[in-house]
Amino acid sequence: MRILFIGDVVGGPGRRGLHAAMPGLRERYAPDMTIVNGENSAGGMGITEKTAKAIFDAGADAITTGNHVYRHREVYDFLNRSDRVVRPANYPYANPGRGYTVLEVAGKRVGAINLSGAIGLDVARSPFHEADNILEKIECDFAIVDFHAEVTSEKVAMGWHLDGRVAAVLGTHTHVPTADARVLPQGTAFISDVGMTGSRTSVLGVKPELILERLITQMPVKFETAEEDVWVMGVVVDVNERGLADSIEQVMVPAPS
């Protein structure tokens, strides 16, 4: 079974780029399931029901998120209603939304698990303990983990922690694709960061001049999403009958204009 996982969609340019690129990606990779991180899809920060719908319309089967998931209050009810959008599972249990879901795809029960790193980000519980707790109770043939984390060492550690227990641990949040995609010894596909879906003429999706002004002056600056040279980034993971990975391949393509 083939899973296409797409990295953080940034704002309108990312959404439009994803929509334009998906027909070509489907033709090239023929995925059985597509998972998209959408936590920056609404104006470059957060997600709304409208932007989630746009991602689903582009071809996503499930959407993961991250630390900006609660930026827009109007999404809270949608997160509670949807069984195809997940937020970090190690947030407080009473928070809106769910931390994992199981979808029936091509005759398989596929788990999509979202976790947040604890280093540099706010969480209620250790992502390592939370991963263990979820794997004890989730009922699926295999699971894909979106580990939305700040620090590469924590991401690499999670890969080793879950090696042989999930099909893939895929890092998001830092928006820069890393060169460490591989299948770990026990069969878990891993990459520290899959990259983002948004403008490469940017600093992590934001207009460069605004980021430079903020860094140089140390003064508040309103960020705006960059629009030029949109690329779609992610990975393709082939999962075998044992629920583990045979391969992982990076995806980095310019969005059709």
**C-alpha Rg value of the chain to the nearest Å:** 17
Question: Which has the closest alpha carbon to 238: 230, 248, 228, 252?
Answer: 248
Helix 49-58, helix 11-29: angle, nearest 10: 20
Contact at 8 Å (CB) between 12 and 242?
no
Is 129 annotated as catalytic?
no
Contact at 8 Å (CB) between 25 and 255?
no
DSSP string, 53-116: HHHHHHT-SEEE--TTTTSSGGGHHHHHH-SSB---TTS-TTSSS-SEEEEEETTEEEEEEEEE
Cα 33 → chain centroid: 14
Give the active site residue among 19, 68, 72, 148.
Answer: 68
Q: Which residues are part of the catalytic machinery?
A: 68
